[in-house]
Each structure stands twice: as structure tokens, then as C-alpha cells.
């Protein structure tokens, strides 16, 4: 005799979370849509440079937004920020991948000899390359399945997000030659986010 299982009703909180995550997904795609529109409409004077800078900027934005989810959860007492953290992290990696792809394809035309030379000899490219290398295992292991496989090691692995953020901000800072106002803002936000974590750990200890 077959037993029918009743599906548990979806709570209002779950519906709000689903709607919120759908809106967040759209918001995360808006910068890419805007960049594509500007390039296709011919407004960008140097399309390759514009795409490179745009994708790099939004990599930093989503990376810092990912790190802000834990403080937001602690300050609000709500669980939803942590449920949005993975999406923000994956979008940070997505924009970083576009940033790197633009460099090796549209800027360097897959000239691997020159790319490797750049990575070794130009410090801002070296730290940028290191950041995306460290981001790759975080993106690959972001699923529930990998969380179950790695268990406690999953949390240890994903602490790499901290050096990734430091490298990303350093990459931008070293790239800018004159006006460092924007890199300084990103560095200040990162310092605040990491400082809060150190303060909480010190209080716990």
C-alpha cells in the first residue's frame, strides 16, 4: 500500500527569502547589462579597458558584499544574510572570471608568453592572478554536496576569502597610479569588515 506524503507548506519567511534572492540575482546582473549596453551602443571610448575596469570594480563590490553578510547577520539577528552570502560570492567569482577573461582574450589575445611575463614582472597583475587562483576552489566547493564532503575542512578552506579580498584590494590599489581615492575606500571597508571579525574573536577568547 502506497503511503502519500504531504508536502510541508512553504512559510511566508521562505517565500520572502525566495523573492529576495531572485531580486538579488537580478541586481547582481545589472552592472553587466549596463556595461554591455554602453559597449554595444558605442559610448565606450575604449571598450576593452571599460569592460576590464567595470568587471574588476564589481568583483570588488560583490566580494566586500559577501564579507558584509556575517556582520549584517550579527547586527540584525536575522538569518537571511547568510543565505544570500553564497550567491554574492559566486557573483564575485563570475565577475572576476570575466575580468580575467577580458585580459587574456581581448587585451592579450591569448599571448601566453606575454601573459606569463606580465604575471611575473607586474606586481598588480601578480596579486590579481593570485586572487583569482584562490577564488577558484571556493567557487567549486560552494555547493551543499561539497560542504558535506569536506565537513569541518569546508569552513577552513573558505577562510581563503580573507586573503582573496586583501589581494583584490591590493591589485586595484597598485593598478591606480594617481588618484587613489576609490582604492582607499575599498581598503577602508575591508579593514572595517576584517577588524570586526578580529574584535569578535578577541571578545570570544
Rounded-to-integer distance, Cα 50 and Cα 44, Å:
7
Distance, C-alpha 149 to centroid of its chain: 23
The pLDDT value given to residue 84: 93
Residue 189 has pLDDT above 80, yes or no: yes
Report the predicted TM-score, pTM, of the whole model to 2 decimal places.
0.91
Mean of pLDDT values over 157-175: 95
Mean pLDDT of the region 153-166: 94
Q: What is the DSSP string of 97-109?
A: HHHHHIIIIIITT
pLDDT number for residue 7: 53
Query: What pLDDT does residue 1 have?
Result: 42
* Domain boundaries defined on the chain: 14-204
Average model confidence (pLDDT) for the chain? 91
Phi then psi dihedrals of residue 29, to 5 deg: -90, -15
Percent over 90 (pLDDT), the chain: 78
- What confidence score (pLDDT) does residue 203 get? 87
The average pLDDT across 176-186 equals 89
User: Distance (Å, rounded) from C-alpha 34 to C-alpha 36?
Assistant: 5
Q: How far, CA to CA in Å, does 91 sit from each of 49, 66, 73, 114, 160?
A: 21, 9, 20, 28, 16
Please give the pLDDT value at position 11: 79
Q: For 64-100, how does the pLDDT look when each residue is reduced to its tens digit (9 = 90+)?
A: 999 999 999 999 998 899 999 999 999 999 999 999 9
- 3-class DSSP string for 172-201: HHHHCCCCCHHHHHHHHHHHHHHHHHHHHH
58 sits in which H/E element: helix 47-76
Quote the percentage of the chain above a pLDDT of 70.
95
What digits encode the pLDDT tens for the residues 24-62?
A: 999 999 999 999 999 999 898 999 999 999 999 999 999
Give the lowest-confidence range in 7-11, 163-167, 190-194: 7-11
Amino acid at each position: 500500500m502506497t503511503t502519500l506524503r504531504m508536502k510541508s507548506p512553504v512559510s511566508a519567511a521562505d517565500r520572502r527569502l525566495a523573492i529576495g534572492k531572485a531580486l538579488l540575482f537580478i541586481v547582481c546582473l545589472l552592472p553587466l547589462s549596463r556595461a554591455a549596453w554602453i559597449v554595444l551602443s558605442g559610448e565606450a571610448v575604449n571598450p576593452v579597458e571599460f569592460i576590464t575596469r567595470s568587471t574588476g570594480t564589481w568583483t570588488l563590490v560583490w566580494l566586500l558584499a559577501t564579507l558584509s553578510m556575517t556582520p549584517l547577520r550579527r547586527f540584525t539577528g536575522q538569518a537571511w544574510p547568510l543565505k544570500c552570502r553564497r550567491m554574492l560570492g559566486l557573483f564575485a567569482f563570475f565577475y572576476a572570471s570575466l575580468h580575467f577573461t577580458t585580459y587574456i582574450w581581448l587585451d592579450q589575445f591569448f599571448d601566453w608568453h606575454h601573459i606569463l611575463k606580465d604575471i611575473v614582472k607586474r606586481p598588480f597583475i601578480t596579486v590579481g592572478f593570485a586572487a583569482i587562483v584562490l577564488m577558484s576552489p571556493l567557487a567549486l566547493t560552494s555547493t551543499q554536496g561539497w560542504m558535506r564532503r569536506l565537513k569541518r575542512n569546508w569552513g577552513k578552506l573558505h577562510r581563503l576569502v580573507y586573503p582573496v579580498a586583501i589581494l583584490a584590494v591590493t591589485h586595484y590599489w597598485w593598478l591606480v597610479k594617481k588618484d587613489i581615492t576609490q582604492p582607499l575606500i575599498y581598503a577602508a571597508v575591508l579593514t572595517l569588515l576584517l577588524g570586526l571579525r578580529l574584535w569578535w574573536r578577541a571578545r570570544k577568547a
